[in-house]
Structure 1
Amino acid sequence: MEGAIVLEIRLRDVPEQHVVTEVRTVDQAELLAWLPGAMARVAERARESGGLLGTADWPFLERSDRPDEPVFVAIYEGNPNEAPTPVEVCATVPAGGDRTIPAHREAFARVTKGLVVSGQLGGVYEAVEKWVTANGMSVARAPRETYWTDFPAAADDDEVFDVAFPVS
């Protein structure tokens, strides 16, 4: 099928994560305006509360062949393309923080910047969710994006984040 998204969807075990967070209810346009500033603010709070953890601290991200970069998690309680929805932006810290994300297993697909800017990100979410069901699992919690790079500075073929669904 011409134009079909080709993804490798895999499973991984994610350890417990301590995070500092910022939450806002946004639609897609508001999300695009809010997300970069929210990431900067939680990064600063993370540095002030014990250190902002990066890809070197999270081997499950399989980024050891790249420079260490800060890790952010954006958790979506709905689809901001359909209506305003709560979005939580998290920066990981060694301990403490605002809350703890429990350890979990997740199905994920790695996303390139080109896929995002071409408007195909929704198809990634659909593909991962269908893969979960087709493999006898169910979605256990809200989907998320795990970022590890400077999105604006990335090239179209650079991997910029993972789309993930916690599963049971």
Structure 2
Amino acid sequence: MLTISEFGRRTGLSHKALRLYDVSGLLPPAQVDPANGYRFYDEEQLERARRISVLRQLDMPLTKIAEVLAGSDEEALIRLDRWWAAEEATTASRRSTLQYLRDRLSRTGTPGLSPRPVLIRDVPATKIATIRADTDQQSLIGVIVSSTYEISAYLRAAGATLTGESWVIYHGAVTPEAEATVEVCMPFDGLVDPSGPITIRVEPAHREAYCTITMDECVFPRIMLAYDLVIDWVRAAGLPEAGPPREVYLPDCQSIPRDQPAVDIALPIVERNA
């Protein structure tokens, strides 16, 4: 058995960190002396402690570390890669937002949206696998990416056929200051049961108004101009809204050149003859 001081020395973790990991259940000591409360650790806990230390160096939250380290090493690798992909997507989004602001301040680039039509289409009833999450604007991209990875991996393992596109339905206003519920959806064909956070449902058939934007135009707050375009068009046409707004990401949108059409901003509406 190792004292907390020796264990901390060999893992690079402070007494404060080890106490925090004990309270959180992430790394409880192997034994606590009932007489004096001294903590002792087993040598077999060294590897887990070192992994926790490395993950904390990556700024991974404790709750996410617990999730990553649960289960086998193979499962941990999948969860780690999924989390890192979300982190990289969030960083790329922030970089694009920074560039948008720099363009506005320097009066270069295109501050708004170029003229484009708002179109109407009929969407058939569609079977989808979804994950709902509450998020603010800063965490939104990470939630979308990690949820998409989780759903697609589950559907493929279940033998389902993915259509290639994905949706994000906004059940509330996501802002930098406030969280709201978003629903990441992936249409598929096949028989799949719900699992954990993943639910299976059918999105009812509906008619929707939409416009198409590029990946560059997805940058917040520029993307809000596309939402304004669709919502203003729907209201000017006197068409009642029939559901929450959504983003429809075209298949392999990440590989499409950033200045080419890649995402539809859509709003369900009541049919004209209804």
Q: TM-score when scaled to structure 2?
A: 0.52
Unaligned 5+ segments in structure 2 are: 1-109, 193-199
Paired residues for 1:141-152 under 5 Å = 141-152=243-254
State the 1:44 CA deviation. 1.7
User: CA RMSD of the aligned region, Å?
Assistant: 1.9
What SS does the corresponding residue of 2:162 show, helix, strand or coil? coil
State the 1:88 CA deviation. 0.4
Give the structure 2 partner of residue 59 of structure 1: none
What SS does the corresponding residue of 2:161 show, helix, strand or coil? coil
Are 2:154 and 1:48 aligned? no
Q: Distance in 2 between matches of 1:129 and 1:150?
A: 27
CA contact (8 A) 1:7 1:109 kept: yes
Give the structure 2 partner of residue 101 of structure 1: 203
Q: TM-score when scaled to structure 1?
A: 0.82
CA contact (8 A) 1:20 1:92 kept: yes
Give the structure 1 partner of residue 236 of structure 2: 134
Paired residues for 1:77-92 under 5 Å = 77-81=171-175, 83-92=178-187
Give the structure 2 partner of residue 74 of structure 1: 168
CA contact (8 A) 2:133 2:183 kept: yes
Deviations 1:3-61 (A, max 9, x none): 5422211000000010111110000111112211111111122223442332xxxxxxx
What SS does the corresponding residue of 2:230 show, helix, strand or coil? helix
- Indicate the structure whose relative CO is greater, using CA pairs within 8 Å and at least 6 residues apart: 1
- Cα distance change of structure 1 residues 143 and 118 upon mapping to structure 2, 3 Å threshold: closer
State the percentage of identical aligned residues: 30
State the 1:152 CA deviation. 4.1
Question: How many residues were matched structurally?
Answer: 152
Which has the higher Rg, Structure 1 or Structure 2?
A: 2
What SS does the corresponding residue of 2:167 show, helix, strand or coil? strand
Q: Distance in 2 between matches of 1:144 and 1:13?
A: 15
Structure with higher strand content: 1
Q: Distance in 1 between matches of 2:187 and 2:215?
A: 22
State the 1:162 CA deviation. 0.5
Letter paired with 1:44: A
- The equivalent position to 1:112 in structure 2, one of 176, 195, 214, is 214
Letter paired with 1:87: V
Unaligned 5+ segments in structure 1 are: 55-69
- The equivalent position to 2:258 in structure 1, one of 137, 141, 156, is 156
Letter paired with 2:217: L
Are 2:122 and 1:13 aligned? yes
